Amino acid sequence: MKVNHNALQLESNYLFSEVAKRLRAFQAAESGRVLLKCSIGDVTRPLPRIIADAMQSAAEEMAHPETFRGYGAEQGESFLREAISRYYAKRSLSIAPDDIFISDGAKSDLGNLCDLFDADNTVLLPNPVYPVYYDTSIMSGRRVSFLEGTQENGFLPMPDAAVRADIIYLCSPNNPTGAVYSREQLAAWVQYALDQNAVLLFDAAYESYIQDPALPHSIFEIPGAERCAIEINSLSKMAGFTGVRCGWTVVPRTLVLDGASLHDMWLRRMSTKYNGTSYVIQRAAEKVFTDEGQAAVHEDIAYYMENARLLKSAVTSAGLWATGGDNAPYVWLKAPGTLGSWEFFDHLLYTCGIAGTPGAGFGTAGEGYLRFSSFGTRETILAAAQLIGTM
Ligand SMILES: *Cc1c(COP(=O)(O)O)cnc(C)c1O
């Protein structure tokens, strides 16, 4: 018996455990001092009432012989796939319900998509990066190369025709930097993917946070993407579903690479290894896409975005360079002078009682930066914004 030695190559989940360890040490040493957590990568607002109600009435259906349901449709229930298709149609995008696959969230799909590709592929990742893309690539034994985000490129690295890639991960709006690619920039990425015969895996988990109407929400707004891209999305950040679990992935029928239909391969993969998202959850998700559902989730999004605005304006008033925060719930700031990420983390913690997430934990290009999350309560954010000025 041999284990997957690629899985042993994973480094321990150092970032979040180290942050937690340092916060415990702070609280032990400075007992009684308030800790303002601007480090959380999870939503904090409860589900909108109408969405919880939809879940409850679907649960009730399951208790009656006339409405009880067993195994669901392979790709997800058609009522939900049609609702998502209409959601795209509002932006004049024609995504057939048949191209949409319902899942239990984006993280699973981002990892599971690896099943479609040979181990002998080069994965191209931005640096800094959402750790899931890197870790799943390592677990499946693939070569990884990076493109660096810098202050000069606004943490929006662009493709280099001289660099080979087979599988490209992009996340826009970005976690951790909050930066968002423009239409022209995404068009350059699509052209690069087509030229390289590569597949572009586009993580749109934060698209609903975009405020600027000129910015693209979906990779399929770019002509040609239907021949090279897969889009992964989730209700986690859009509708507070981090604990509820529901996402979707678009694999267009037009996506044919290496002579194979990735749509057919994904359908085969999902019907082999997945038996579907809970019916109850899919009914709650359906509600999210109604007009009243969208109004309710956009109230919470507006709340988080006001938090982001307060944080970013405090940071820039304090004279620090920052990006993100305008169209994403994360603000990415540069440590003052030559401070490293962890030194800045400790400095903020002990002078202001504010916890951020050290940028170095997202890759070497994150060294010297820190991520603030706007998912806290308004109270926390207001207190933090005031203290940032005294740093
Ligand atoms: C939070 C997040 C997701 C959502 O993951 P789920 O598994 O759907 O909860 C996806 N991508 C990024 C970059 C995220 O930060």
pLDDT reading at 13 higher than 80: no
pLDDT of residue 113: 97
Per-residue CA distances from 293 to 77, 87, 171, 239 (Å): 18, 12, 25, 9
Ligand 1, atom 2: nearest CA belongs to which residue? 205
Mean per-residue pLDDT, 361-388: 97
Sketch out the chain's domains with CATH numbers: 7-46+292-388 (3.90.1150.10), 50-289 (3.40.640.10)
Local structure of residue 47 (DSSP, 8 states): P
Closest of 3, 21, 25 to residue 12, by C-alpha: 21
Residues 255 and 134: their CA atoms lie apart, in Å, by 24
CA 391 to centroid of ligand 1, rounded, Å: 32
Mean per-residue pLDDT, 203-220: 98
Ligand 1, atom 11: nearest CA belongs to which residue? 205
Mean per-residue pLDDT, 253-266: 98
Question: What are the DSSP calls for 156-183, one per residue?
Answer: -----TTS--SEEEEESS-TTT-----H
Q: What is the pLDDT of residues 260-270, one digit of tens each?
A: 999 999 999 99
Q: Tell whether omega for the bond before 358 is within 30 degrees of 0, i.e. cis.
A: no
Q: What is the pLDDT of residues 156-171, one digit of tens each?
A: 999 999 999 999 999 9
CA 289 to centroid of ligand 1, rounded, Å: 19
Could you tell me the pLDDT band of residue 391, with boundaries at 50, 70 and 90? confident
- Ligand 1 neighbours, Cβ below 6 Å, are 105-107, 130, 171, 175, 203, 205, 234, 236-237, 242, 247
**pTM listed for this prediction:** 0.97
pLDDT reading at 342 higher than 90: yes
Q: Where would I find the H helices in 227-278?
A: 235-239, 262-273
CA 318 to centroid of ligand 1, rounded, Å: 31
Q: Which atom of ligand 1 is nearest to the CA of 171?
A: 13
Contact 219, 186 (CB under 8 A): yes
Q: Which atom of ligand 1 is nearest to the CA of 242?
A: 9
Sign of torsion, CA 296 297 300 305?
Answer: negative
Q: Which atom of ligand 1 is nearest to the CA of 106?
A: 8
pLDDT of residue 317: 97
Quickly count: other Cβ atoms within 10 Å of residue 228's Cβ: 26
pLDDT of residue 31: 87
pLDDT of residue 241: 98
Q: Which atom of ligand 1 is nearest to the CA of 42?
A: 1
Maximum separation of any 2 CA atoms in the chain, in Å: 67
What average pLDDT is seen over the chain? 97
pLDDT of residue 49: 98
Mutate to test the pocket of ligand 1, among 15, 136, 237, 304 (most ligand atoms within 8 A of CB): 237
